[in-house]
Chain A
Amino acid sequence: MKDKIKINVEQEIKELLPKYLNNRKNDLNIFKKALADLDAITIEKTAHKIAGNAGSYGLDHLGEIAKRMELESHDKELANIQKYLDEIEEYLNLIEY
């Protein structure tokens, strides 16, 4: 079993994390539907937002995966997207704050 990932942010930011993480779980559903529809534009747009905001919430790794998804979907390259989604899902489940 993998270790939990501790997020080190100020208390005032910790208060925002439950909603933030819940929104990302909703994004996972958006990604999954878009991938099934081969909708690269939705994947790129959604990933672009996460790439721009995750680091500010102390979730640098999430931001890095999202950046890769953004760049690859921009090039209409969707072969790795499912792998990234699995990685995000696992990461979100391991977060502890």
Chain B
Amino acid sequence: MENQKLILGVDDDIEITTILQRWLTMEKHRACFFNDIREFFQALGKEKCHLCIVDINIKTLGIGFEVITEIRKKFGDNLPIICLSSLSDMKNIAHAIEIGANDYIIKPTSRAILTQKCQQLLEMSSSSSSSFSSSISLPEGQYRFVPTQFSDIKLSSKVYIEGIDEHGFKVRSNFLIQKGTAIWIRSSLVEEILKKQEIFCTVTSNWVVIGSTDFGAYLEFDLVSSELTDNIRNWIYLKRKSQENER
């Protein structure tokens, strides 16, 4: 089928690659799994791939991290990557996300988890526009994941700005904000620094904040002008100066 998305994966456990391939085929995806890293990269270079699934411990502990780094280096940030591992500690999950994985599945997994996460990332990667054309209202509560059946939704949430540089903000949030999410930031700090009420940003990286249930994210400014850069530099300069004076 022409519209089928290609999913490529690598795991040295043949039982895992067999069942993942079977599950994804049952969901009408085109999936191809490899037990060998070299063969996986050969396939990745041949045809447009829409999603990668990478095991962390391929023969050697942690080799999957190198695979993720290599994928990011060769194929950029737009190709979604799901990490698959029996390693369930926060340190490994945080590291995988930090180096470029979009999601993390802990083994043993199920068909429902795998297909839902694949669907979510495939939808995200195919909706290149960030036009928030519709909105839904959700009951109050703690949400960590956006329902996957909606590709265009509008949510608002508090984030805490922890840092700023010439390219964007480092923020902390109760929510895992997926890479590629478009965000309008409105705050008095934005007004103070940037001399405008709000600024449009895109999430370019995210991570787990070790020792808490929060998530970190880097929000890159969509448009960088010399005026914006000057305003940030001035604000940082004045802030440092006032801190020095206080000492």
Given that A48-B86, A49-B13 are known contacts, is A57 also in contact with B107, CB under 8 Å in the complex?
Answer: no
Q: How many Å lie between the Cα of A56 and that of B57 in the bound state? A: 18
Confirm or deny: B116 has a beta carbon within 8 angstroms of a beta carbon on chain A.
no
Shortest CB–CB separation between residue A84 and chain B, in angstroms?
A: 18
Given that A12-B22, A12-B26, A13-B22 are known contacts, is A56 also in contact with B16, CB under 8 Å in the complex?
Answer: yes
Shortest CB–CB separation between residue A55 and chain B, in angstroms?
A: 3
Q: Is A56 touching B108 in the complex (CB atoms < 8 A)?
A: yes
Q: Is A52 touching B19 in the complex (CB atoms < 8 A)?
A: no
Confirm or deny: A97 has a beta carbon within 8 angstroms of a beta carbon on chain B.
no
Query: How big is chain A's contact interface, by range?
Result: 10 to 19
Given that A20-B15, A49-B13, A49-B15 are known contacts, is A54 also in contact with B108, CB under 8 Å in the complex?
Answer: yes
Instruction: Please name the residue on chain A nearest to B55 by beta carbon.
Output: A52
Given that A12-B22, A16-B22 are known contacts, is A55 also in contact with B108, CB under 8 Å in the complex?
Answer: yes
Q: How many residues of B contact A (CB 8 A)?
A: 14
B22 — which chain A residues lie within 8 A by C-beta? 12-13, 16
Confirm or deny: B109 has a beta carbon within 8 angstroms of a beta carbon on chain A.
yes
The interface centre, meaning the residue of B13, B22, B26, B107 with most chain A CB atoms within 10 A of its CB, is B107
Q: Is A16 touching B13 in the complex (CB atoms < 8 A)?
A: no
Q: How many Å lie between the Cα of A23 and that of B18 in the bound state? A: 13
Q: Is A56 touching B109 in the complex (CB atoms < 8 A)?
A: yes
A63 — which chain B residues lie within 8 A by C-beta? 108
Confirm or deny: B78 has a beta carbon within 8 angstroms of a beta carbon on chain A.
no
Instruction: Please name the residue on chain B nearest to A67 by beta carbon.
Output: B86
Q: How many Å lie between the Cα of A74 and that of B114 in the bound state? A: 29
Q: Is B13 touching A56 in the complex (CB atoms < 8 A)?
A: no
Given that A13-B22, A63-B108 are known contacts, is A57 also in contact with B15, CB under 8 Å in the complex?
Answer: yes
Give the contacting residue for A57; candidates B19, B26, B86; CB below 8 A. B19
Instruction: Please name the residue on chain A nearest to B12 by beta carbon.
Output: A49
Give the contacting residue for B15; candidates A10, A12, A48, A53; CB below 8 A. A53
Which 7 residue pairs across A and B have the least CB separation, nearest first? A55-B108, A52-B107, A53-B15, A52-B86, A56-B108, A56-B19, A49-B13
Other A-B pairs beyond A48-B57, A53-B19, A56-B110, 17, CB < 8 Å: A10-B111, A12-B22, A16-B19, A20-B15, A49-B15, A51-B86, A51-B108, A53-B107, A55-B107, A55-B108, A55-B109, A55-B110, A56-B15, A56-B16, A56-B108, A56-B109, A57-B15
Binding site for B on A (CB under 8 A): 10, 12-13, 16, 20, 23, 48-49, 51-57, 60, 63
